[in-house]
Structure formats: structure tokens, C-alpha cells
Chain A
Amino acid sequence: MKRYDRILGSLVGAAIGNAMGAPLETRTLDLIKKELGHGELVRDYVDMPYDAINQNIRPGTVSYDFAISYLSLLEFVKEGGITKEASARALLELKNNPKYEVYAARTDTATKVGLDRIEKVKHEWTPYDDLPVDNRYLTSSAAMRSWVCGLWNPGKVEKAIDDAILMSKEAYDNVIALSGAASIAAATAVAMLDGSTLSDIVEAGITGAHKGYEKAMYVARNSAGASVEERIKLAVKIGLKYSCDHERCIREMTDLIGTGINANEAIPSVFGFLVASGGDVMEAICLAVNAGNDSDTTGVMIGAIAGAFKGIKNIPEKHLPLLSSVNDMDIEALAKRLDEIIL
């Protein structure tokens, strides 16, 4: 497969998962089926539900996750590589450019804290500042964009891990968050390589979580919480066990692993769903988004990995033009530019 097809597949897969998952966010599988899927699993872009903070969002609109990934890539292209400064510029551009208000309005708490750190905003002292650990921000906010480090480093697991930490450590100063980010970056890097199998991707995800945690221990704030690595191993077993019954798979995954905002839920479940889907882009996304809770984030991560693995030809044709126009993003041009620039 041409590398361009993998790059474009990853970008489009990530955007689909993010846009499809956004309206399903916070809900459970049962509530999604009942309220958004007319009794079935959701397999397309739907309207925002009645309780959404902003209901005037067109179906197909991506959320913060894809938007920051896209802007980060634009900055990395300009910079000619992945740097801390370019990553910070992307975060600030999304925050301050009114063009991106629809995405910025849905900035998560961990990112707000990270932005304050980058902008050196003084915050009032709280008792948490004295602790040698921080267990509040072990979220997937770093991982939801770290797949771009995998795109940038096809087949180079170590470099993808290092870049994921470099890209995120300033905003997401948390070892568990960075372990998750490294896991997704490593898996995407392997998915980009011709000849990689699903098991290679899963093993890269486990390696990424392990090494990412160890490396992050030197540069980031400590955090107590369940292990991304250990939970990936369990999620993969669950995905395999229920690979012939996808609804049951979603149920068992949400019941035992969870798909919440923390990196030790969303990232493991992504690998479980990847295994259950065999890597098929639309099926993988369907599993992840219908699991609900932090569905736009699981959606963006699984779409990026499966898209790189199977390539753009595995994705129905309608998505690229629809997503590009609804979000006013030239995804194709970005993919071409990346293919030229990536070593």
C-alpha cells in the first residue's frame, strides 16, 4: 500500500471517529441505542442530543480532539519536525483563533490546566500543589493527539514514543497521561508500516504504554492510578473473547475496562475494540463510539490507528469530502504535504 493511503486513511479515520463519537459522549451503550440509534448501534453522524451544552453543531463536526491533532500537524509541517514549541503554538492557536471557537468551546479541564501552564498564568495555591503526585489529570488529552507522532514516524516505535512525550509533557504533566499517549503513538507508528499485523499493533501499544511510563517518570509529575499497560492486556482478552458478538463486546469492555476520560480506561478499550473488529476502520469506530462515555476520544484514537492500518480504501468515499467541508479543513492537502515531508 502507498504510504499516502495510510496517512490519509489515518487522518480520515480519526476525523470520522471523533465526529461520530461527539454526540454520543457521556452516554451508556443502552442510552445511545435508545435515544440516538433508534434501537440500533449508531453507525453514522447524528445530531447532538437534547442535553448537549451546544446543540447547534452540524453532524460531521469534529470535536477538540481531532481539531488539535490537525492544527498540531500543520504546525509540525511548518516547523519541519515535532517540537515542544510547535505543539504549544497549536494549542494556543486553537484557543485564540475565533475560527476554531466551536472546538475550543469544548476544551477539557486537563487541557485548560495545561494551557495555563504554557501561558504561565498564576493560579491560586491549592493543597494539591504540595502533593508529590497528581491523580486528577491522568486523562486521555495527551493520547487523543499523540497518534500524529505515529504518522510522523512510520515504523519507528522509539521515536514515536519520544515525540509523544515531547509533544505533550508541557501541557500534560502526568506519567499516566503520557503512558497512554506513548501507547497510541507507538501503535500508530507500527500500523503505518507495510506488513504489520494486528498483533504487531497491539504489542506496540503495550510496549508504548510501558516505555512511555518509564520515560515519563524522568520528566513528568507522578500519578497513582491503574496501569495503562496492564489494562490493555485485559482489554485485548475481552476483545478477543467477544469478537463474534460486538454488542456483548462493548458491554463487557465498558463494564470491566471503562471508556471514561482517564487514560487508563479509554486507551486500553481502544486496543480491545481494535482486536474485536479485526482492524476494519468503520467497525472499529462503531465499537468505540457506541461504548459511549468519552466516545469522541476513543473514536479519534481508534480511527487513527485503524485508518493507518487499513488505509483510505477501507473507508467509504463519502467521508473525506463531507468532513473536509463541514469542518473547513483541507485534509487531503495535509496528507499530501505529510507524505512529502515525512522521512
Chain B
Amino acid sequence: MITRKDRIFGGLLGASIGDSMGAATEFMTRKQIKEWFGGWVKTYVDLPDHMFLKGATKGMVTDDFSIGYYTAEAMIKHQQKMNDEMATEGLLKWNSDPLYSQCAGPTTRLTIARLRGEKVPEVKERLCMNQRVTNGGGMKAGIVGLFNPSNVDGAIEDALTLCKTTHNNTLAIAAGCAIAAATAKAFDENASYLDLVHAGIYGAEKGFARAEELGVKPAAGCSIAKKIALAAEIGLSHQGDFENAVAQIADIIGCGLYAYESIPAVFGFIAASKGHALDTIYMAVNCGDDTDTVACMAGYIVGAFNGVDAFPKAHLELIDSANGYDLAKMAADIDRMI
């Protein structure tokens, strides 16, 4: 049996592994990844010189896992469940780290300026701001799944609170809720990888409905729930075929910045690899485009699903030392809080 703490630990470690491995492949096409690294990337490699994070070393996470980490840190420090204050504190702490603040996109920058009470230029906005349907909500939502073991609905509510501080549109929130719901579901003793997909679809549907209820801004874009189902369908029909599973999911679903690409892609990779911890992460690391975010989100889910022992010990040592983390302690702290 996998203990609750080991699932939390696994989620933290899985997300860190995905983010740091994906840091080297981010932006590139699948073909470029293969050429640059001489094959698929299945370990920690040096970051190419062109990457944003200059001077980053192997095993360092990027803006993706770090925001979840800082959010968890705030919740542990205050012994407080997710609320607006925790979401804000995590965001500001994350942004005060120069390593990650350089990666913040325009939407997040604007939100942070507002939160800090800085004057921001008033721009007339359209009702639907479709360029803001991005995966920044999804990338941090896995963490609230770890605070809600087996409590899918609780994870969805917390994801809603966490995501709306920065990504206040129905689709980006629905995407965040899908990741949170699947991470929470991963704690079920009898859950299979199909249940993870099911929870993702449920989370997207319910998150979208709850966001609408709360008057969150609408946006035009693909349906998160329907695209998760399509991604899983593609994944299921390419099980055991790494190359084609990755190609088909990347070509049809997409692994880009849009929430309706990278979040569904996560579920496609889970379906294709039957929820296997490292295989799912490897697919995400090599899918091209926003690889580190996709791999980070996938890592939360499959890490909790398989527990920390699914990852060879060397991973933890590298992640802890490269980032100055003590993920074992964080996992124990979260476990105690629940």
C-alpha cells in the first residue's frame, strides 16, 4: 500500500522532475529535440545556451513547479487551507525570486502590479480576452490536488480560488480544475489511469460550471473536457508506441501555451503510458513546445498516482540539492495539515 504521505511526496517530486527535465526541451519542435540531444530526452541534460534561464544547472525547476512550491510553503507556514490570501502570498513570493519573475507572462505581470498597489495603465478590454486562455492556472493547480487527497470536489474549489487570481477566465480555470481533480483522484487506492482521465474531464466540466456561476469572464476557445476526452482517445489507441503517441497528441491536441492544448495533452500522455510515472513524464518532456509545463502538470498526477517510490532515489537527491528543497519535509508538513 502507498501511504498518503508517499503520494503527496510523489506528486511534489514528479512535478519537479517533469519541470526540470522539460526545462531543456521547452519551445523546441520534436525534431529539434531529437537532433539537439541526439535522441529523446529521458534524463537531466544541460540547458541549451538559448534558454531563458541563464546559468541554470541540471535538476533546477523553472517558473512552473516553483509557483506551486511557494504556494504550498505559504499554506504550511500559516497552517491555512487555500484561500485568496494564500494564492496571493504564493504568487508574490514566487515573483520576488528573480530566477522566476523573468518568466512571468504579461497577464501575470499585470496581476502582480495590481496586487502590489502599483498604478497600471487602464486599457479598454474586450469581453472575451482569448489570448489569456493560457496554462498558467493549470501549472500551479496540481499543488491543491495534493492538499485534497481523494477529495475531488474540494480540489476543484481550491483550484478555482488559486487560478482566478491570475487567470480569470472560464477556460483557464476549467483547465486548472482538471489537473487538480485528477491529482486528488490519484490518491484513491483503487484508482486506475482511466479514473484519472475521468476525474480530469469531471474537473474541467465542474470547474467551468462553477466559474460561470461565480461570474468569471467568458472566453472563446476549445472545450477543455472534450479535448481531454479526445487526447485520451488518441493516447489509448497508441499505447506502447511512444513515438506515435507523442506525435499524434502534439500534432492534433497541441502542447502549446493555450490551456486547451497543454492540459488535454497531459491526459493523452497518461492514457498512452497507462499512468506509468516516468513514461508519462518522458512523453511530456519530448512533445515539443511548452514541454516543461506539460511535464510538470503530468508529474503531479502520475507522481501521486504511483507514489514516491516509483522514482529512483537519485531523482530526489538531485532535485533537492539543485533547488535547495527538502521535498520529504514538505510532503510530511502537507500530510500533517490535512
Chain A residues with CB under 8 Å of chain B are: 26-28, 31, 49, 51-53, 127, 130-133, 135, 222-227, 230-231, 234, 254-261, 264, 292-293
Contacts and interface: CB of A to CB of B under 8 A. Distances in A.
B27 interface: yes
Contacts of B256: 135, 224-226
Given A135-B27, A234-B252, A255-B222, A31 B128 contact: yes
Given A131-B50, A224-B27, A231 B221 contact: no
A257 B49 CA distance: 35
Contacts of B261: 226
A335 B30 CA distance: 44
Contacts of A293: 130, 220-221
B42 interface: no
Contacts of A258: 221-222, 260
B230 interface: yes
Nearest to A255: B223
A92 to B, nearest CB: 26
14 contacts: A26-B128, A26-B129, A27-B128, A51-B125, A130-B49, A130-B50, A132-B28, A224-B28, A255-B223, A255-B227, A256-B227, A258-B260, A259-B220, A261-B131
Contacts of B227: 255-256
Given A256-B222, A256-B223, A133 B254 contact: no
Given A51-B124, A133-B32, A260-B220, 11 more contacts: A26-B127, A26-B220, A31-B127, A51-B126, A52-B126, A133-B27, A224-B256, A225-B254, A226-B254, A230-B248, A260-B221
Contacts of A28: 128, 218-220
Contact of B222 (A31, A223, A257): A257
Q: Is the interface of B mostly helix, strand, loop or mixed?
A: loop
B18 interface: no
B250 interface: yes
B219 to A, nearest CB: 8
Given A26-B126, A260-B130, A227 B222 contact: no
A130 B258 CA distance: 22
Interface in B303-327: none
B29 A264 contact: no
A223 B128 contact: no
Interface in B244-285: 248, 250-258, 260-261
A131 B222 CA distance: 28
Nearest to A109: B131
Given A224-B29, A256-B227, A260-B220, A230 B252 contact: yes
Contacts of B220: 26-28, 31, 254, 259-260, 292-293
| Chain A CB within 10 A, most for which of B129, B220, B223 | B220
A229 to B, nearest CB: 8
A217 B219 CA distance: 33
Interface size class of B (residues with CB under 8 A): 35 or more
Nearest to A30: B218
A293 B254 CA distance: 18
Contact of A227 (B223, B251, B258): B251
Nearest to B103: A127
Contacts of B130: 26, 260-261, 293
A16 B320 CA distance: 60
B125 to A, nearest CB: 8
A135 B252 contact: no
A234 B227 CA distance: 13
B288 interface: yes
Given A133-B28, A258-B222, A231 B127 contact: no
B226 interface: yes
B52 interface: yes
B157 interface: no
Contacts of A132: 27-28, 32, 50
A5 to B, nearest CB: 35
A276 to B, nearest CB: 18
A146 B41 CA distance: 38
Interface string B210-240: 0000000011111100110010000000000
A314 B266 CA distance: 45
A226 B52 contact: no
A258 B127 CA distance: 18
Contacts of B260: 258
B222 A226 contact: no
A46 B226 CA distance: 31
A264 B126 CA distance: 23
Nearest to B125: A51
A86 B248 CA distance: 39
B289 interface: yes
A226 B226 CA distance: 17
A146 B50 CA distance: 33
Nearest to A32: B220
A112 B260 CA distance: 26
Contacts of A234: 252
B292 to A, nearest CB: 13
A224 B33 CA distance: 11
Nearest to A253: B222
Contacts of A130: 49-50
A133 B288 CA distance: 11
Given A222-B29, A225-B289, A292-B220, A127 B52 contact: yes
Ordered nearest first, which 9 A-B pairs have the shortest CB separation?
A226-B254, A255-B223, A227-B251, A293-B220, A224-B289, A230-B251, A130-B50, A224-B288, A224-B29
